[in-house]
Structure 1
Amino acid sequence: MSKLKILATSFIISFLVWSFFTAPLLKYVATGIPSSGQSFAKDDRRNMIEGDQLQLLYHYWLFADMLQGKTQWLHNPYEFNTGNDADRLAVDSYYFPFSLVFALFSYITTRAFAWNITGFLSLWLTYLATWLLVSRFTRNKTIGAVFALTSILMPVRWMNLLGGSPTGFAMMWIPIIMLGVDMAVRSRSLTGGWIAGIALLFASWTDLHVFYFSAMLLPATFIISMIMPDYTVTENDDSASVRFKRNLFNGLKNLIPTAICVFIILLYVITVQRYLGKSVMKGGREIYEIAIFSQKMSGLWSFNRKAFSAWLYLGYAFLLALSVSLVYLIASLKTARNSDNILRKHITLALIIAGSLCVVFLASGPYGPFNGLLFTLARKFIPSYTMIRQPGKIFALMPTLLALCAGLGFAMATEKIKRVRPLLLTVIASFALIEYWPRVKITICMLDPDQGAYAAVASEAAAREEAAHALVLPLWPGDSHYASVYQYYASLYRIRLLNGYSPSVTQEYKDNVFKYFESINEGIITNEQLDSLINMKIRHILVHENLFPEKVSPFPVLHTLNQLFNCPRINFINRTGSVWAFQILDEPIAKSTKETPYYFPARHWLAHNFETQDDPEPILIPETQERFLRIRAGNHATTGLVLQANLPNLHWQARIRGAGTLKLSSHSNGTINETSVTLDSDNWEWVALPVKDIEEGRKMFFRLQPETGFVDIYETVLCAGNWISPEVKSSIRIPAACFFHSGYSDIETGSVYLRSDYEQRAIDFYGPKLPLAPGVYKITLQYESDAKKGTELGAFNFRTSYNETERWHHVIAGNIAEGVWESTGETMHLAFLFERAADMRIDSVKILRLK
């Protein structure tokens, strides 16, 4: 088969596999990019899905923008910018050469198309290189073509590529490196040394995981190439030792270009290590953190594609071929000893299999055999292995290794039955396609071509003839995937953000930026903070209402928005979709005040959340699966730290029972507000303690301490405002904007809008997470939708801290959405599952007490 034919055939096969495995991506190739290869949702498309794909897309775009001269070379001014672009010097590889390919296509097409074609080309070159590599070891192009399919069929490749991980692109370099080393050693080719070196260099520029593991593989590849006989070079009659020395010398000589590239890599790695030395990653990863990100070996064989370990799946097609081959080879081992070449092939195959087993064991990290013994030894003896947080990343080597060992084993085992090879290869290829395809289910992230709130910020800054700078809420410590959405929108208008998203965040940023401005997430805004922002040239604040999880604030996003509206030095300028834009003013202006009708709590402590002196185990109530914590005199239960906010009637509430005297206390910087209550009942009751002497931004905690007897603690919440259960035959109407929600709200009407194109199929609306007095209630979700009558918009049920009602109340367009809840006095909330069948508007929730 000619080289041109191999190029064309590999391209066609790669394109067919890519099209088949990523369907329906071709339909949206110019407007959307993959965000996951493990879609669990009914729908495979959604706009602006936060994740690694947007982060990597940002860096590809940044390089393209530098080439066009629109961004200063080797600078990253659009994230972590504290006012001086010069401080954003970033000597980095910018994922070259993938970023170069993206740049060239992005100039003539869309970003989405450029991303997708870059991913496809990496897949094609992976297959081509693996084909050539396997063909060299098997001396058969057809065998090479079939077994090279592992490189583009195995889930590990798709999970990384479709998930937007640089590893998914950089896996291309692994077979190229092995191919280059083999050419240098067995074919005595200096070109092979250059191929291996340049591929290793590019691996270091595109993904440190692939580079690190490829560097580990390099000497192993050299060894198997030294052992494997070469049929392209005629051997003379010299002794085996003479031939070995000559081959060793030639191999090392031809790998001199690789050594040159390794020296260049060392210079690059030293620069990277200096950068990481200032980050929170310095010192390596703790084993408990690694365990969280480790896959279990059950994923190697499990048919459950939704499992966390599913991307370790090896499959049965190629393993079956390898196993049958091994049985034959072991049986023919005695015969192999009579032939030097056959014996060397046997040894080569054994070494590749041994290396593959090491990869499998290391990929499971602490969950590997013998409690992760091999992983523990690797961390102890292999330099920098302690930096690996995701052990499964080493599985990037597996597609190439499996192709090589299965292909070589098949070729050796079928040497005497070549007539049936075509049939066997057809069966193996078909089985592999059928087996691997169902394990990949793509989710497509549709890219917004514009964003009005960001555009308003850029326009306002341009009117002042200044570069646009902004703070985006929620503000994270720099390591949250939510910020990838900020990065994308900022790149559309070249807005310099104080925010950022990076795997290595400096401690200085965490201490001086995140911790100082963190309170703004909660609506706590001081003049000092605003002055500091202005000194950083930041004149705007953007709020992503739909990316506002409970973690960032004690109360829903409505409170933060109202605080921004109420601040005399902040002026609202635009809202587009779920993004709000505000301008920071030098001087205060007169403003009307927006009130928050209800404050739903996000700070909630259950029995297992408290800090105690002697760590008593929570007590289980078998009938209800509820738990409570029993604390006796001499012990205490303490909540975590929260920030104080100047809110009406800020107070702690605890649901307790017991016998004795209990002291309740609120602590803040040495200031203690306390009271005592007497308990003598088996019935649960709520007690409250106001927060006094409030100083905004100061941290506080709540403590329950029995002075005599004991207390049972069910739950504790931090509350504000006035929440009163309705009387019998009376009702309350709660505006939807008060709830925790996705989508966006209308501040004036209190409605919440859920969009089928943006929101995920999840609990997108819930609350109040407050107690209702014991009784029976009818709860109505008041909504509107333009959907066709009978369309199922979603469903809701009622939940407490430990339980949820099994019954779902379906929300059908044109029908009333209501359900009945019998309260026993604990906190409860309505949880609405949005089906994304159509857009809808939720106006309010009505709670009517029946008895």
Structure 2
Amino acid sequence: MNSFRAAKTAGLTLGATLLLWLCFSWPLPRYMNDGIPSTPTRVEHETTRRMVQGDHLQLLYSYWLFADVATGQTPFYYNLYEFNAGDDEERRCGATDDFPLSLFFTPVYTLAGRALAWNLTGLLSLWLTLLFTWTLLRSRGQPVVWTLLAALLAIALPYRWSVLCGGSPTGLAMTWVPLFMLGLDAAIRREKMWGGLVAGMALFLAYLNDSHVFFFVVLIAPVWGLVVLLLRPDTPPWRNRRWWGRMIVACLPVVLVLGGLMLAGRAAQGDIVDSMGTHGRSWMEVALCSPWPRGLVARGGAGADHALYLGLVLPVLLLVGLLAQLVSCRYDPVRQWRRTLAHVLLVLSVSGIVILALGTRGPFDGYFMELVRRLVSPYALIRQPLKILIILPPLLAVLALLSLESLADLLGRRRALLTAGSVVLLATMLDYNSQIKPGVCLLDREQGAYAAVAADAKDAPRALVLPIWPGDSSWSSLYEHYVSLYHIRMLNGYAPVPPMGYSEKVALLHDPANVGRLAAPQIEDMERRGIEYIILHEDAFPEQVSSYAVAFTLHRLLIHPRLELLKQDENIWAFKLLKTPRTVLPALPDWPLFFPSRYSSFEIEHFQSDPSAVVREEGASGDHLLSLPPQGPTAMIGPIMLWQSHDTALLLRVRGNGSLRLELQDASGEITTNDVVVHDPDWRWERIPCPVRDDSATTITLGGQSGHVEADVLLVTAGQLPRVAVGESFSLAPPLFFHAGYTDLAHNAVVLRAESEPHGEIFYGPMLPLAAGHYSATLRFSTDAPVGTRLGTWNVAGGVVATQSCAVVAGAEARCRFETSPGSLPLRLSFDYLRQHDIMLRDVKIARVAE
């Protein structure tokens, strides 16, 4: 009989989970074997994109590592494939953080691959959450439909889907919250030791999987214990020693587990300190992650606001249920006072959780968050206030059922009330479902450049993957996925807290490789560590990585005498480090200039020595400029890196009548002085050549010499746009632009792939000033799309008199006419890609035309 009931419960909850999962996760079920969820709120019309960087890939890598160890491909308790500095023994670290769900992932991965294994593991965590919550609620003896719908709240809240689809370990670890509550309920209400064992096990699993889940479970334990005690059907025999003995024995496993973790030095505070630093998060960090209160009820929110969403239906139900319970207590206080107190305590707990989830945007400017941070020291280490919502779903499920129970007790269990309560809970589910729009990351099963490295290596392959980050950037999750395909040991990696010494000994030393610099210190370090390969992700190259677009880095790597191109597979390039320099360099397209990034542009007023010299003006870059009279304030920029190129120069936007002195001091202390004479009331660009003999850190100082001159912005450039007369034109090779996709060297073009690139402006440049005049900008392209298909929009903005745009349509010309004024700000051409078809961008032609 018990077996039949257990099977019935398992079947009912599994069926309900499947139905909810199909509705909430769609279209993921269509790509079960090909992709995994990457976001709960996609902004693109397309539902899938190949290899989207993010925490979902990092967590998948963690589960894959456990499976690889379990199947004997990787030594036990080793993570060899990231942050590997050459000594495998230094990479002894845990592969058990994802236990026990990784035990389910492993056999499915072995039989069917990582995408299906990952998706089924997520489904399993939802089912277990529902099963535990259902079992917890069944003891209330309410109608099955109410119990089931209330329990479904535990897996329907947008926060659960936010962390589950976003790849946070929290999404899977939240499974253990209702299990802990179930165990504690059995230990206190039924005085059963197995309940304490279950609660202790849940506490331990929460600790293994996610320190935040562990911390908040411990935080809510006393409150939940008191609620359970108040909801007992009988009055606790406070003076009965045997009762106290049974209670102590039942709860002892929880105390022992918690004490054991604390004694081991890895309890909640220790774990969070390890992962977040010893000084806690600053108030500003918390503010940046705090949602707006409108997110509680505003539909269609994004980010933290989306995860906070509760809607209107459920809070109204909880409020009505509380009023009903208060009325019942007034009529029958003797029988109802304990349940009323438990109900009020739950309402206050849920309200407190929501207030703390608002962080600095909570009532009274975040007073309650500040108070809790002072009183509970580990709380100061939490950056995302929303993390407290970890414990909200099962509490809401209990409170929703108690509210319906209170209404039934007050009004009677009429069929109309049963139907109305069910409709309210179902409406809540539908409301939450409308908030979830998952995006799917399609996974690569192979990658040619990485495969070439693995095939070429005589021993275990070791590589440096570019761009290199400090270690905590989600861009590196792409590297984790690819190295896992071929068991390549990577020098860099991705972790919330990188290994000790990584930042100084690895990231800082090899950061110049992001601009293609491989000098003797970097090469010697790579050889010492046994690293023979460099892999470049061309399309994972945001502006903060380098002073220039990726073409600058790619060009320097291709012509480096110690590197040989091993393989290009679309957006990824693999280079081999040669033992001796080569004498013959490859023939490359002519790239006469390189486009500066925003990190090569300096608003001079930000570097002034006297704030009173800053003047607000709408026509200036950043709407401010710096006044530089003689003997007045100066501006000191740097030290900044000046990278060697064939035409390094500074472009300074100035106006006025007088002169400036510009000094460049390199790392050796040598100073080069340039006097800039200005006689123009309108803005103009002054070019100051600064040939760089070797890549060097340089400090730039700017001050007035005579007259009165105003300075706006300084650009560090590697070439300039040509000046052309009316009727003349020049071309810019697409690889020079900031772009997604990949470079086709044979055609000197950029290829954008509909399956892989994001929707939006993913091709732009040159971010350089253009002489005053009338121009046309033509984007030449080819595509296999049918004639008349719209592929995107060609835009001209920045540095022009009026913004212009035109549709990019297959079989038609994409040309915009525009005008620039004297001394105009840097020109920005961009292509807004619609992801309808693949497209090859072949040329950007700028022609001077008559007015």
Deviation at 1:224, TM superposition (A): 1.3
Amino acid at match of 1:371: D
Q: Secondary structure at the match of 2:681?
A: strand
Matched, 1:471 2:464: yes
**Residues 605, 614 of structure 2: 8 Å contact kept:** no
Alignment gaps of 5+ in structure 1: none
TM-superposed CA distance for 1:678, in Å, is: 3.1
From 473, 480, 489, the counterpart of 2:473: 480
SS in 1 for 2:62: helix
1:723 corresponding residue in structure 2: 721
Correspondent of 1:330 among 326, 333, 351:
326
Q: Which moved more, 1:605-614 or 1:681-690?
A: 605-614
Indicate yes or no: 2:435 matched with 1:454: no
The offset of 1:372, in angstroms, is: 1.1
- Three-state SS of the structure 2 residue aligned to 1:766 is strand
Whether 1:530 and 2:523 are equivalent positions in the alignment is: yes
In the alignment, which residue of structure 2 is the partner of 1:598? 593
Task: Specify which of 209, 213, 219 is matched with residue 212 of structure 2.
Answer: 209
Q: 1:447 to 1:609 in 2, by over 3 A?
A: farther
CA contact (8 A) 2:272 2:381 kept: no
Is the alpha carbon distance of 1:187 and 1:111 closer, same or farther for their aligned partners in structure 2, counting shifts above 3 Å? same
Structure-2 change in CA distance of 1:299 and 1:275 (3 Å): closer
Name which of structure 1's ranges 81-90 and 101-110 shifts more when overlaid on structure 2: 101-110
Aligned length: 837
Cα drift, residue 658 of structure 1: 2.5
The 5 A counterparts of 1:606-645 are: 607=603, 610-616=606-612, 619-621=615-617, 627-633=623-629, 634-645=632-643
Residues in 2 aligned to 1:296 and 1:573: alpha-carbon distance in whole angstroms: 50
State the TM-score, normalizing by the size of structure 1: 0.94
Q: Which moved further from structure 2: 778-787 or 670-679?
A: 670-679
* Deviation, structure 1 residue 589: 1.2
The worse-fitting range, judged by mean Cα deviation, of 256-265 and 613-622 is 613-622
Question: CA separation of 1:206/1:274 partners in 2, compared to 1, >3 Å: closer, same or farther?
Answer: closer
Q: Is the 8 A contact 2:150 2:397 kept in 1?
A: yes
1:417 aligns with 2:416: no
| Equivalent residue number for residue 399 of structure 2 | 405
Amino acid at match of 1:842: L
Does residue 830 of the first structure (1) align with residue 829 of the second (2)?
A: yes
Cα distance in 1, alignment partners of residues 783 and 250 from structure 2: 70
One-letter amino acid matched to 1:518: D
Are the counterparts in 1 of residues 258 and 267 from structure 2 also a CA contact under 8 Å?
A: no
Deviations 1:412-433 (Å, cap 9, x if unpaired)?
2212421233212321133112
1:811 aligned residue: 808
* Cα deviation, residue 718, structure 1: 0.6
For residue 547 of structure 2, what is the aligned residue in structure 1? Answer: 554
Deviation at 1:505, TM superposition (A): 1.8
Which range moves more in the overlay, 507-516 or 245-254?
245-254
**1:568 partner SS:** coil
Does residue 823 of structure 2 align to residue 820 of structure 1? no
Q: CA deviation at 1:66?
A: 0.6
Deviation at 1:365, TM superposition (A): 1.4
Displacement of 1:701 in angstroms is 3.5
Distance (Å, rounded) in 1 between the aligned partners of 2:233 and 2:25: 39
Rounded to whole Å, the distance in 2 between the matches of 1:663 and 1:589 is 43
Q: 2:828 corresponds to which letter in structure 1?
A: H
* CA apart distance, 1:225: 1.3
Q: Tell me whether 598-607 or 65-74 shows the greater mean CA deviation.
A: 598-607
CA contact under 8 A between 1:605 and 1:716: conserved in structure 2?
yes
CA distance in 2, matches of 1:500, 1:365: 31
Q: Deviation digits for residues 70-97 of structure 1, max 9, x if unmatched?
A: 1111111100001010001113533111
Alpha-carbon distance in structure 1 between the residues aligned to 2:267 and 2:223: 27
Partner residue in 1 for 2:32 = 29
Give the residue type in structure 1 aligned to 2:650. W
Of 501, 507, 520, the match for 1:514: 507
- Indicate the residue corresponding to 2:683 in structure 1: 684
Give the equivalent residue in structure 1 for 2:154: 151
Correspondence for 1:750 among 748, 751, 760: 748
RMSD between aligned alpha carbons?
Answer: 2.3
Of 644, 649, 664, the residue aligned with 1:666 is 664
How far residue 269 of structure 1 moved from its aligned partner, in angstroms, is 5.1
Alpha-carbon shift at residue 553 of structure 1 (Å): 1.1
Could you tell me how far 1:320 is from its partner in structure 2?
1.6
Contact 1:170/1:206, CA 8 A, preserved across alignment: yes
What SS does the corresponding residue of 2:698 show, helix, strand or coil?
strand
The Cα shift of 1:621 comes to: 4.3
Structure-2 change in CA distance of 1:617 and 1:353 (3 Å): farther
Matched, 1:542 2:535: yes
Shift of 1:285: 1.6
Residue number in structure 2 paired with 1:848: 847
* 1:219 pairs with one of 217, 222, 228: 222
Distance 2:15 2:153 in 1: 16
Query: Which stretch of structure 1 is more off in the superposition, 680-689 or 773-782?
Result: 680-689
- Cα distance in 2 for partners of 1:805, 1:372 equals 44
1:849 shift after superposition = 0.6
After TM superposition, the structure 1 = structure 2 runs for residues 128-207 of structure 1, keeping only pairs within 5 Å, are 128-137=131-140, 139-207=142-210
8 Å CA contact 1:739, 1:768 repeated in 2: yes
Quick check: 1:664–1:689 contact (8 Å CA) kept in 2? no
Provide the rounded CA distance (Å) in 2 between the counterparts of 1:693 and 1:338: 88
The alpha carbon displacement at 1:695 in A equals 3.1
Whole-angstrom CA distance in 2 between matches of 1:359 and 1:169: 20
Q: Partners in 1 of 2:357 and 2:214 — Cα distance?
A: 16
Query: Which sits farther off after the overlay, 703-712 or 9-18?
Result: 703-712
Q: Structure 1 421/687 Cα, relative in aligned 2: closer, same or farther at 3 Å?
A: same
* CA deviation string 1:25-77 (max 9, x = no partner): 11110110000001111101000000000000000000001111111111111
Question: Who is 2:697 aligned against?
Answer: 699
Note the residue ranges of structure 2 that are not aligned, 5 or more in a row. Answer: none
Structure 2: which amino acid aligns with 1:357?
S
Correspondence for 1:494? 487
Contact residue 75 and residue 88 of structure 1 kept, 8 A: yes
Kept in 2: contact 1:130–1:144 (CA 8 A): no
Percent identical pairs in the alignment equals 33
Quote the Cα distance in structure 2 between the aligned partners of 1:240 and 1:59: 49
Question: CA 1:260–1:240 in structure 2 vs 1: closer, same or farther (change >3 Å)?
Answer: closer
Is the contact between residue 187 and residue 194 of structure 2 (CA under 8 Å) also seen in structure 1? yes
The Cα offsets for residues 776-806 of structure 1, whole Å up to 9 and x where unpaired, read as: 10100010001111111111211217x8955
Between the aligned partners of 1:177 and 1:271, the Cα distance in structure 2 is 16
1:71 matches 2:74: yes
The answer to whether the 8 Å contact 2:153/2:429 transfers is no
- Maintained 8 Å contact 1:296/1:364: yes
The offset of 1:363, in angstroms, is 1.0
The reply to whether residue 435 of structure 1 matches residue 435 of structure 2 is no
Deviates more, 1:430-439 or 1:173-182: 430-439
One-letter amino acid of the structure 2 residue matched with residue 582 of structure 1:
F
Q: Give the equivalent residue in structure 1 for 2:771.
A: 773
Write the distance in 1 (CA, Å) between the matches of 2:272 and 2:508: 21
Q: Which amino acid aligns with 1:813?
A: A
User: 1:738-778: CA deviations, max 9, x gaps?
Assistant: 11111000224310000001000021111111111011101
Distance 1:617 1:54, change over 3 A: farther
Compared CA separation, residues 685 and 488, structure 1 to 2 (3 A):
same
> CA contact under 8 A between 2:211 and 2:271: conserved in structure 1?
no
Q: Give the drift of 1:271.
A: 8.9
Distance 1:127 1:506 in 2: 37
Q: CA deviation at 1:387?
A: 1.5
